[in-house]
Structure 1
């Protein structure tokens, strides 16, 4: 009986090293082993799992190859949804199933990164480094580690984005109020900015505006409400209307909102009541709100004549973080403004307390500069400050491009979690996201309730204000003229 030649096939006697050199190489030929090694490394980099199918453990290879092809399929599906089904993709990422979807994405990415590490180590084992020339013996592991580092870091970054998204969505939109349809064709959201600096007896809303988003076109109108707007009427049926039937009159205690201004309503409704306002608004906490916020909502509704079901609260002390996370904002400054200062500096020469200056001209502002741009008022008026705040809101909206959000997502999510509180329900997020994308293609309309727009700062005509809002949100349609023929 004749024995088959070494490496001979059971059928026909052809040497296996000729037909399958990746699996059965001629280990004595260093040049062949080097070429084989580079093929295995490249295959492992391009199609993880293929090196094992061709030259190693086929079961491990098939598992790795299946995971790779499944990953490519999911990426293609995601890209297809981003291009042709953005609404469905947004619903998956921020909708009611977002926690499950984002957790699954995080687990799959981490699992695939670990699998790729295993496949890379196994591919280097299959290379048989001791049998390749010296140069390749060092170059092959280095190339494999570099490719693995890039791929694994991408997967790990993707998993952190998924985790950040889940955490931010859960933190900001964990509860929320009831999901309501648009009112008269608009979603109206009260936007509040609070500044609790030194010398303040309590936190008051120093920036108050209402963002009205057209539920069809996405057109945005921002109405700026002066913080010192007096005697605001409350909406019909409001608990505060029973206390102040003739409009907000302030409070008897100086520390409890003694002025009849909009920014003192929170104190009168919440801070200065023994029950902290829970008797007035018992469901506020359940809906991620507070009595002071609900009372301010009711005052804004009464003043503007529109329904305002939702609010967004911005902590001005953390405002700079969001600006920095977005990479700064571009603002055209029209007058020189000082940084620094506080209520105790009123009347003192600005040179004594200014810590810096914001110069006129087009400027790219970081968070600290933008914060002072929005706050500065001791050398100008509150009306000027309102205009700057609205200008800054529009500039921030311009920075929320898909490219910028993707590139800086973790930073934006972290800043948003520390910065924002809201009662917007999570199931509204997909719809709002679509409206935001439409809004970015249009110019933002602005209304300022200031003397320049005909609003008396001491005795505002609220009937005229309500008519102004209606004319802006629902302009009269032009009827074609008839020639009488």
Structure 2
């Protein structure tokens, strides 16, 4: 009876349902074995697709219907496994085996049951979190085509902040990704760039026929607020997953750079720290000594600070990293732009499978609270595949700042267009065969 018990428990582990075929309800056993074979086939197909056709998996794992089906299948197999394991222990008749073997047989069956159930529970949580994040962050609709072989995404870091009314983009940049190779170029636009032109046909030419000339300081970042205050300029923005403030910024940034921006991503800097904490923090090489919290006096010197970020390599939590990107006391906007790029790159470096899988639920929840975009869910499989290529290549940077010859008060937009064209052309490579 002891040997029989070990065999039944072992068979249930190796081929669920086989124990019932040998010593129990054969109808249940046949169902269990067939279900197990089906699971093996699914696992083999998944491995084949992963090795030779990853876009198929990307499509499945970014489709809310497919994720729901996967979640149901996980629950089904977990319930079936529990049923078969409990029935196997019944068939093993623990009371009739030797006293010394009894706890070992039961412990093995229970340990494997707990491991499988925990794995299934984690799978259900991950698929549910993925589905919820996709529903919250991404919009419906068709994917846009590449323009001149590139996808250009407007990145806005929105900061409501204690010293301003409403959200205002404190960080403005464009990620330009070459469709063929995944090579990315990040272009930084100072928030205090003035007199921005607009893309052809923009409704902003109505109130500003000569570009953004408002009569005083006409900073490009103010256009977000202007758009929000004049939603009639972009009546279809909300329906398309955007808002009038974002569309005003898109028209202005597109005009400044002379390129088409297919998508935008708006990151709420106030909730940014939650995403960094979910990732386990970030490592950043601090370029100076920067205050945490507080304000500034009449001489722009920090007062009432909570602490300091010291120079050198620092492990930062979300709150510290946010202040590193935000701190302006005693520094320039251009220094802050460089620090914001550092934080962005540090976050990208944390998005590695080993890190993300272990903290997926927290990351997905934080991301859905922090990120707003008009990227359609239909485009996700392609962009996930493209991101793999991008991660393997260095990101080029172009900063439109005075140190690079850009006059932010009286910009030469023809020169800026030439600078951008040269930077984007320089990234073009022939894809490997």
Which bracket does the TM-score occupy, shorter chain normalised? over 0.9
Instruction: Work out whether residues 183 and 427 of structure 2, in 8 Å CA contact, stay in contact via their aligned partners in 1.
Output: no
User: Does 2:101 correspond to 1:150?
Assistant: no
Question: Please, which of 204, 208, 211 is the counterpart of residue 244 of structure 1?
Answer: 208
1:249-260 → structure 2 map (5 Å cutoff): 249-250=213-214, 259-260=217-218
User: Does 2:150 correspond to 1:186?
Assistant: yes
Question: Please, which of 301, 308, 326 is the counterpart of residue 261 of structure 2?
Answer: 308
1:36-185 → structure 2 map (5 Å cutoff): 36-94=4-62, 98-175=63-140, 178-185=142-149
Superposed displacement of residue 349, structure 1 = 4.7
Mapped partners of 1:360, 1:381: distance in 2: 17
Q: Which runs of 4+ in 1 moved over 4 A?
A: none
1:14-25 → structure 2 map (5 Å cutoff): none
Compare relative contact order (CA 8 Å, sep 6+) and give the higher one, 1 or 2.
2
**5+ residue gaps in structure 2?**
429-433
Secondary structure of 1:379 counterpart? coil
Mapped partners of 1:349, 1:335: distance in 2: 15
Superposed displacement of residue 213, structure 1 = 0.5
Q: Which residue is equivalent to 2:225?
A: 267
Superposed displacement of residue 388, structure 1 = 0.9
1:175-214 → structure 2 map (5 Å cutoff): 175=140, 178-214=142-178
Would you say how many aligned residue pairs link Structure 1 and Structure 2?
429
User: Does 2:407 correspond to 1:463?
Assistant: no
Instruction: Work out whether residues 93 and 101 of structure 1, in 8 Å CA contact, stay in contact via their aligned partners in 2.
Output: yes
Please tell me the root mean square deviation across aligned C-alpha atoms, in Å: 1.9
**5+ residue gaps in structure 1?**
1-32, 252-257, 478-485
Mapped partners of 1:435, 1:211: distance in 2: 13
Question: Please, which of 369, 377, 390 is the counterpart of residue 320 of structure 2?
Answer: 369
Secondary structure of 1:174 counterpart? coil
Q: Which residue is equivalent to 1:281?
A: 234
Instruction: Work out whether residues 188 and 337 of structure 2, in 8 Å CA contact, stay in contact via their aligned partners in 1.
Output: yes
Instruction: Work out whether residues 151 and 178 of structure 2, in 8 Å CA contact, stay in contact via their aligned partners in 1.
Output: yes
1:250-309 deviation digits (Å, cap 9, x = unpaired): 48xxxxxx74111110222222x4xxx1x2111101110000100000000110000112
Q: Structure 1 stretch 383-392 or stretch 321-330: which is displaced more?
A: 321-330
Instruction: Work out whether residues 139 and 375 of structure 2, in 8 Å CA contact, stay in contact via their aligned partners in 1.
Output: no
Superposed displacement of residue 346, structure 1 = 5.7
User: Does 2:377 correspond to 1:426?
Assistant: yes
User: Does 2:415 correspond to 1:450?
Assistant: no
Mapped partners of 1:415, 1:345: distance in 2: 34
Instruction: Work out whether residues 78 and 120 of structure 2, in 8 Å CA contact, stay in contact via their aligned partners in 1.
Output: yes
Q: TM-score, structure 1 length as denominator?
A: 0.85
Q: Which residue is equivalent to 2:180?
A: 216
Q: Structure 1 stretch 41-50 or stretch 465-474: which is displaced more?
A: 41-50
User: Does 2:351 correspond to 1:386?
Assistant: no
Q: Is the radius of gyration larger for structure 1 or structure 2?
A: 1
